[in-house]
Amino acid sequence: MATEKTTIFSPELAARFDKLVTLYPVRRSALVPMLLYAQDEVGYISTAVIAEVAERIGIRENDVQSVLSYYSMLRTKPAGKYNVQVCTNISCMVCDGYKILEHCKKRLGIGHKEVTSDGLFSLEEVECIGACCWAPAIQINYDFYDELTPEKMDQILDDYKAGRGKETV
């Protein structure tokens, strides 16, 4: 439906959304994945994203807002190109997860949910990411790094800065 109209998404993503809404018994089931994929492309959930997603599914923008505000991975303002998410939950906490977080804060010069001035990195203290046996662990965007030390952390950040980081989308 929306393909004939103007879309704010890339042709690939628009085509993907066209298919996504048909996979489920009800179109609305595609909402959470659509928001996440839209965020991956646009960088955050903008009002334009909300409007188009609402139209594609056939629900009110209010309903999209309500769902959006519930999920911690969805954001309404841009993060850095590389969003560094440091787990400090129990297994990581007792394996120096907070040291990793402090190290990242110092190294990047930003705090929780802040973005570096060049827009390259943002930092987030997150809840358990399901890598407890390989603690301390982080994610950069969707990629996991585990059994970290401050030295390994430096190497990872250097790699991303030099454009050599992994980028699972």
Partner 1 sequence: MPRLVSHPDEVKIISRRFGLGATDIGKYIELDGYKAVQAAISKGPEWIISEMKASGLRGRGGAGFPTGMKWSFVPKQSEKAKYVLVNGDESEPGTCKDHLIFLYDPHAVIEGTMIAGIAIGAKMGFIYLRGEYRYLLKIMEKAVADAYAKGFLGKNIFGSGVDFDIVTQTGAGAYEVGEESALMESLEGKRGVPRIKPPFPAVVGLYGGPTVINNVETIASVPHILLMSGEAYAKVGSERNGGTRLFGISGHVERPGVYELPMGYNLKKAIYDVAGGVRGGKKLKAVVPGGSSTPVLTADEIDVGLDFDQMGKAGTMLGSGGIVVLDETVCMVEFALRTIKFYQHESCGWCIPCREGTDWLKKSITRLHEGGAVDKDIDNIRYLAENMLGRTFCPLGDAAAMPTIGFVQKFRKEFEDHLNGRGCPYKHSLEREEALV
C-beta closer to partner 1: residue 49 or 118: 49
Query: Within the chain, where are the H helices?
Result: 11-20, 31-42, 47-57, 61-68, 90-93, 97-108, 150-161
Contact 89, 128 (CB under 8 A): yes
From the CB of 169, what's the least distance to partner 1, in Å?
8
C-beta closer to partner 1: residue 64 or 157: 64
Whole-number Å distance between alpha carbons of 11 and 132: 39
**Angle made by CA atoms 23, 25, 31, in degrees to the nearest 5:** 65
C-beta closer to partner 1: residue 14 or 98: 98
C-beta closer to partner 1: residue 3 or 66: 66
From the CB of 6, what's the least distance to partner 1, in Å?
24
Buried b (16+ CB within 10 A) or exposed e, 116-129: beeeebbbbbbeeb
Give the binding site for partner 1 (CB under 8 A).
23-26, 28-33, 35-36, 57, 59, 66-67, 70-74, 88-91, 93-96, 98-99, 101-102, 105, 111-113, 125, 127-135, 139, 142-144, 146-147, 168-169
From the CB of 18, what's the least distance to partner 1, in Å?
16
